[in-house]
Structure 1
Amino acid sequence: MQHPPTRRSRRPAPRAACRPPPGWRALFLIALLVTPAVRADEEPDPRRAISPGLVPFVPSAVSRPDGWPGKAAGDAVADALEETDAAPKRLPEEPAADGSVNAERHVLSSIRSKPGGPLRATAGDVVPATFEETAAGQPGAAGLPEPVLLEGTRVVARVGPEVVLESDLLTPKALEWLESVSPGLSPEQVRELRAQICRQVIDQHIETLLVYVDACREIPEDKLPEVRQNVDKAFDEQMVPNLLRESGAANIIEYEHLLKARGQSLDSMRKMFFERGLAQEWLRKNVDDTGEIPHAEMIAWYQNHLSEYDYPAKARFEALTVKTELKRSKQQAWDLLAEMGNEVLAGRPFAEVAASRSEGPTARNGGRFDWTSKGSLASKLLDEAIFTLPIGQLSAILEEEKALHIVRVTERVEAGRTPFIEAQTGIRDTLRQERREKSMNDYLSRLRGRTPVWTVFQNASPGGQAVTAGRPTTTTTR
């Protein structure tokens, strides 16, 4: 009779490598005989290697030696804790090869020469915690050079996270001027000139950095590299050719050497150009100067500033002059001037007569005087004549103490006031500029309120204060 087929087991057959080697029972018995037995009254040692493959137990904490920093002498709590069962057991120090015991073993070795063995303290190439070193009083006494401040690296201001160096404020033109005036000056005088230049431009530079920091705070971080790439491209294409032409450098390499000799670099100038360009664009975006100026507001401005639109009478005129203080009598001077006047009346151009015979200050220009306001002339006689004579008519001979004159008015405007219809364009521009300045000042005030600002010149004056987050705080120097 045939038996039905049985379902085969899917469990794979044991591998030959898993089978115990021949004689394994004998090896096991030998291991039992070699391994020392543990007495019932003996506490098992956790560090003893019981069998291969087991890692010895490492205490979670090791008691500090008596000389360890932080443990006060006579610390009763620490001593009591070490005497209890809760305190970790200390490892006995093993003597060295010469029989001495090292008392400065404060650090446990992280690498053991015998893996599986007990941890031992080591002091090899380890600085003890109680090590002290006396610092040299003077740098020169220890053989170290005196610190030297590199030129241009002085920190003159901080605006938020941005640091302003002296070299950031000294432009190539300023450095060129310093080179021209430095010969013959002492180093202290040169440093004072550099400080004066920085003091003059630092306020404007701080305003630029305030806006720049705000732009970096608001613009998404992933967009800044693209913005910087576009600005750097504009710098290389527009600014670099102008810089090369102004400096007289033949190429960009020669210009970089010139900048390096002055303590600057093209990269620093490119960075400055980026900061200023981004700040200007961000300022334009945040300052509101758009919108139509109401007509009523312009009229109100005009009515409140009427005196600014009043103008005095003014005139243009020509003059023939003969001086009486030369080696001639007054009668001779009178006759000479009368001859010149008769020539003009006979039809000779006034400018020709004046250029050839007049002794006045404008004789070379044909005796012509440009627009002259009433009351602006030193001679009251001439002032009255040019504002009373009919236009185009020769005056009689006007006699003064040192000269004789004949004048003719060519053009005159009486005193009056500019009408609103002529002034409204200028009024609109003025009001728009005022609106822009107010918006910009409000914006900068908000930035100063949330951006710390400090300058080195605040410490230079007594009672100087540094502005931090919009609030004045007393500065301290170390």
Structure 2
Amino acid sequence: MGSALSYSQRLEVTLPEDPATVIAVVGNSNVLLGDLLPQVDARIAEVEEKSGQKIPAEQLGTARLSLVRGLLGKTIQTKMMRESFLLEQVGIENADKREEADATLSGRARQMFHEAELPELKKQYGTENLRELDGMLRKKGSSLLARQRDFVDQMLGHLYLRGNVNRKPEVSLSEIIAEYDAEKELYFRAERARWEQLTVLNSKFPNEQAARAAIQEMGREAVFGGSMQAVARARSQEAFASKGGVHDWTSRGSLASEPLDDQIFTLPLNKISGVIQDQFGFHIIRVLEREGAGYTPRSEVQDELRSKIRERKIEDSQRIALDRMREKIPVWTLFPDDIPGSKPLPVSLTRRNVSANR
């Protein structure tokens, strides 16, 4: 495609004024600056509106360049997948066959846009009038034509991934066992317990004696009334009072109160404790369940492990598909460092993009 820009020249790249300038070539598809500028300008307008001030002129060029660069990377990837799908459909057939396949498949995708996407857009923007809808989209940096074009590219790209990525890989028991053994330390859990708690806070009473009297009264009510949780909801002063004072599984050593922590892990189960004093106030507890330290059994995390392995296999399959795609589809771009395996745009296409400020 001709000679390319040197590294030092690429450092001086600025956005051209002509929206028709080619800023990337993906296989047989061109990406024009004008394809991205509406979204860029809409984003800048949104930022200025939210901040209530204009972006300084000396920063505006850098901001636009950065936004174009980000959008271009996403656009190139989508078009690479589209080109890969078309290539798979026609193999190494001639250009006429490719254009024929492109027209046929794009036509089907456009039909899907009108049947599925367009009704949703009308609903989202609250109008059935296409001209009005197009105007609303343009205010957001898009248009009906742009949304249709993007939908077609994404649909064909999705078909490429669907045909090359196994979304439901098998996961064997041996793989689950190996995963569990390799990451067993992640499934170690300290001694833990569940308990009910009544609390009075020193800060809520004029003195310690009054606070102690209040917790003793709550304890008697729990013992003789038969419902510690009911007393907690009505009178307790700690964070879990609204839940009946029930504390779910909590590991030893994780509480701010050392006296409570010690009692929770030494008291007999299902016995109401005496009054426990700490730096916050007074408490009465009843330990409901307690488990010793150890490893979570593999059977309890088997589904989690299976999902984790499956996701990793899908990611690996997708990475391989994208690597194959990059090998098949040549890319020339204004920002070759952003796309692995891509090349700088030829000088013949980019000389209008190079700053004259030497």
Q: Same fold (TM over 0.5)?
A: yes
Q: 1:430: which partner in 2?
A: 308
Report the alpha carbon displacement of residue 197 of structure 1 after superposing the two structures with TM.
Answer: 5.1
Report the alpha carbon displacement of residue 276 of structure 1 after superposing the two structures with TM.
Answer: 0.9
Q: 2:182: which partner in 1?
A: 304
315, 325, 339: which one pairs with 1:447?
A: 325
Q: 2:4: which partner in 1?
A: none
Q: Give, in whole Å, the separation in 2 of the partners of 1:363 and 1:250.
A: 53
Q: Would you tell me which structure has more helix in proportion to its own residues? A: 2
Question: Which moved further from structure 2: 315-324 or 271-280?
Answer: 315-324
Report the alpha carbon displacement of residue 306 of structure 1 after superposing the two structures with TM.
Answer: 1.4
Report the alpha carbon displacement of residue 345 of structure 1 after superposing the two structures with TM.
Answer: 0.5
86, 90, 93: which one pairs with 1:216?
A: 86
Asked if 1:163 corresponds to 2:31, the answer is yes
Q: Kindly provide the CA deviation profile for residues 360-385 of structure 1, in whole angstroms up to 9, marking residues without a partner as x.
A: 22333333333323332222222232
Query: Secondary structure of 1:335's match?
Result: helix
Q: 1:361: which partner in 2?
A: 239
CA gap of 1:444–1:361, structure 2 versus 1, over 3 A, is same
Query: Secondary structure of 2:225's match?
Result: coil
374, 377, 384: which one pairs with 2:262?
A: 384
Report the alpha carbon displacement of residue 165 of structure 1 after superposing the two structures with TM.
Answer: 4.0
Amino acid in the other structure paired with 1:162: N
Report the alpha carbon displacement of residue 266 of structure 1 after superposing the two structures with TM.
Answer: 0.6
45, 55, 69: which one pairs with 1:186?
A: 55
Report the alpha carbon displacement of residue 210 of structure 1 after superposing the two structures with TM.
Answer: 1.6
Report the alpha carbon displacement of residue 214 of structure 1 after superposing the two structures with TM.
Answer: 1.3
CA gap of 1:435–1:360, structure 2 versus 1, over 3 A, is closer
Report the alpha carbon displacement of residue 346 of structure 1 after superposing the two structures with TM.
Answer: 1.0
Unaligned residue ranges in structure 1 (runs of 5+): 1-147, 459-464
Q: Which structure has the greater CA radius of gyration? A: 1
Determine what percentage of the aligned residue pairs are the same residue.
Answer: 31
| Contact kept? 1:466, 1:475, Cα under 8 Å | no
Query: Secondary structure of 1:408's match?
Result: strand
Q: 2:137: which partner in 1?
A: 259
Question: Which moved further from structure 2: 254-263 or 159-168?
Answer: 159-168
Report the alpha carbon displacement of residue 338 of structure 1 after superposing the two structures with TM.
Answer: 0.4
Asked if 1:324 corresponds to 2:202, the answer is yes
77, 81, 84: which one pairs with 1:207?
A: 77
Question: Which moved further from structure 2: 364-373 or 436-445?
Answer: 364-373
| Contact kept? 1:215, 1:278, Cα under 8 Å | yes
CA gap of 1:261–1:361, structure 2 versus 1, over 3 A, is closer
| Contact kept? 2:36, 2:68, Cα under 8 Å | no
Q: 1:241: which partner in 2?
A: 119
| Contact kept? 2:36, 2:71, Cα under 8 Å | no
Report the alpha carbon displacement of residue 171 of structure 1 after superposing the two structures with TM.
Answer: 9.2
| Contact kept? 2:40, 2:67, Cα under 8 Å | no
Report the alpha carbon displacement of residue 342 of structure 1 after superposing the two structures with TM.
Answer: 0.6
Map 1:17-166 onto structure 2 (within 5 A).
149=17, 157-160=24-27, 161-163=29-31, 165=33
Q: Kindly provide the CA deviation profile for residues 45-104 of structure 1, in whole angstroms up to 9, marking residues without a partner as x.
A: xxxxxxxxxxxxxxxxxxxxxxxxxxxxxxxxxxxxxxxxxxxxxxxxxxxxxxxxxxxx
Query: Which of structures 1 and 2 has the larger relative contact order (alpha carbons within 8 angstroms, sep 6+)?
Result: 2
Superposed CA RMSD: 3.6
Query: Secondary structure of 1:257's match?
Result: helix
Query: Secondary structure of 1:377's match?
Result: coil
Report the alpha carbon displacement of residue 277 of structure 1 after superposing the two structures with TM.
Answer: 1.3
CA gap of 1:256–1:401, structure 2 versus 1, over 3 A, is same
Amino acid in the other structure paired with 1:185: K
Q: Give, in whole Å, the separation in 1 of the partners of 2:241 and 2:20.
A: 60
Report the alpha carbon displacement of residue 290 of structure 1 after superposing the two structures with TM.
Answer: 5.5
Q: Kindly provide the CA deviation profile for residues 128-170 of structure 1, in whole angstroms up to 9, marking residues without a partner as x.
A: xxxxxxxxxxxxxxxxxxxx947x8786644333316475493
| Contact kept? 2:189, 2:295, Cα under 8 Å | yes
Amino acid in the other structure paired with 1:432: R
Query: Secondary structure of 2:267's match?
Result: coil
Report the alpha carbon displacement of residue 271 of structure 1 after superposing the two structures with TM.
Answer: 1.0
| Contact kept? 1:454, 1:466, Cα under 8 Å | no
User: TM-score scaled by structure 1?
Assistant: 0.58
Q: 1:137: which partner in 2?
A: none
CA gap of 1:327–1:181, structure 2 versus 1, over 3 A, is same
Report the alpha carbon displacement of residue 324 of structure 1 after superposing the two structures with TM.
Answer: 1.8
Unaligned residue ranges in structure 2 (runs of 5+): 1-15, 91-97, 348-352
Q: Give, in whole Å, the separation in 2 of the partners of 1:354 and 1:154.
A: 72
Q: 1:36: which partner in 2?
A: none
CA gap of 1:224–1:298, structure 2 versus 1, over 3 A, is same
Report the alpha carbon displacement of residue 407 of structure 1 after superposing the two structures with TM.
Answer: 1.9
Q: Kindly provide the CA deviation profile for residues 268-299 of structure 1, in whole angstroms up to 9, marking residues without a partner as x.
A: 10110111111111112122456544443332
| Contact kept? 2:194, 2:249, Cα under 8 Å | yes
Q: Give, in whole Å, the separation in 1 of the partners of 2:133 and 2:293.
A: 58
User: TM-score scaled by structure 2?
Assistant: 0.75
